[in-house]
Amino acid sequence: MAGGKAPTQADFHEAISARSDRWYSACLKITRNPDLAADAVQDALLNAWNKRHQFAGSSRLATWIHRIAINAALALIRRQRPGMFEALDTDIEDASAQPGRLLEEHELESELARSLAQLTDLERVCFVLKHLEQWRAREIAETLDTSEGRVRQAVFRAVGKLRVQMRHLKDRHHE
């Protein structure tokens, strides 16, 4: 893909096989609904393919599609009424992990999912984008069409709530 050429079908297949589980996982954390997450990834892939000539090549194709998937997930939840989201029951797991570690990570993921479900939509989305997807406050604000201050406040409130909701994990870890 060097030289500004549009990504090929083979480039897309490679990105999909390497990263589709991460796109789905990120969309699932945002939407809290497996069907919406799958729809977001499908919409993102279709959108990316249709706009492949706009791919600037300044980032990896997989990263570009990831951002499109996040935006697709945000668009889908904007269309939903608040409170219509289902609880997140599962997440994508790394099959290469050791069984004990895998169980511990699954418990942490489940606890995080339950705790994220207690946040407002704005707090959850801002927290996921900031801390799990590593977006800057400015990027989140632009994507959500709000101010950076509102994003920072939502992240601050989310972190505070999550600390309270998940404090027992810290206590259990130090036993």
* Core vs surface per residue 23-33: b (16+ CB within 10 A) or e: bbbbbbbbbbb
Query: Cβ of 174: how many Cβ atoms within 10 Å?
Result: 6
Are residues 66 and 19 in contact, defined by beta-carbon separation less than 8 angstroms? Answer: yes
> Could you read off the pLDDT tens digit of each residue along the chain, which spans 175 residues?
545 678 999 999 999 999 999 999 989 888 888 999 999 999 999 999 999 998 887 778 988 999 899 889 888 887 775 443 333 343 444 444 455 666 666 677 777 778 888 888 889 889 988 888 888 898 888 877 889 999 999 999 999 999 898 887 766 555 5
DSSP letters spanning 74-139? HHHHHHSPTT-PPPP------TTS-HHHHHHHHHHHHHHHHHHHTS-HHHHHHHIIIIIS---HHH
Q: Which CATH architecture has domain 1-92?
A: Orthogonal Bundle (1.10)
* pLDDT computed for residue 98 by the predictor: 58
* pLDDT computed for residue 167 by the predictor: 82
**Sign (positive or negative) of CA dihedral 6, 10, 63, 16:** positive
Reference 1, options 56, 69, 46, 68; nearest CA is: 56
Q: Which CATH architecture has domain 98-175?
A: Orthogonal Bundle (1.10)
Q: How far apart are CA 36 and CA 27, in angstroms?
A: 8
* pLDDT computed for residue 92 by the predictor: 41
Domain positions in the chain are 1-92, 98-175
Token pair 């589980």 in the structure block, residue: 21
Are residues 23 and 65 in contact, defined by beta-carbon separation less than 8 angstroms? Answer: yes
